[in-house]
Amino acid sequence: MESFTFHSTLSVSTLEALIALIAGVWILAMPRVLSYVVAIYLIVKGGLGLLVTLRGHYIALPPLVALVSGVLILVRPRLLNYVVAIYLIIIGVLGLLG
């Protein structure tokens, strides 16, 4: 993934790593928020991924899948298991296909 920076100080990959760290700690501290934390994480990850790909004038499928998955989980938290499973399958297949 390209290194897209915000004000030349914080790369997207660094921001994604910080968000993942915060999300993990939050879930450990408050397990009841799992669905919402996963949804927000996927929406942010998808949004950041789309920002990077739109700068290259194309839309990559993985960020779009993350964004849609996050919205689905946020709207219907009971779908968490299914959405995460399908998301992981799609991302795995896309990763294997190159």
pLDDT at 77 over 90: no
Containing structural domain, residue 19? 5-97
Split at pLDDT 50, 70, 90, the class of 98 is: confident
Total count of domains within the chain: 1
C-alpha closest to that of 36 among 1, 77, 69, 5: 77
State which amino acid sits at residue 33: V
Cα gap 73→33, rounded to integer Å? 12
Q: Are 80 and 35 in contact (CB under 8 A)?
A: yes
| pLDDT, tens only, 41-59 | 899 999 988 988 888 878 8
- Mean of all residue pLDDT scores within the chain: 83
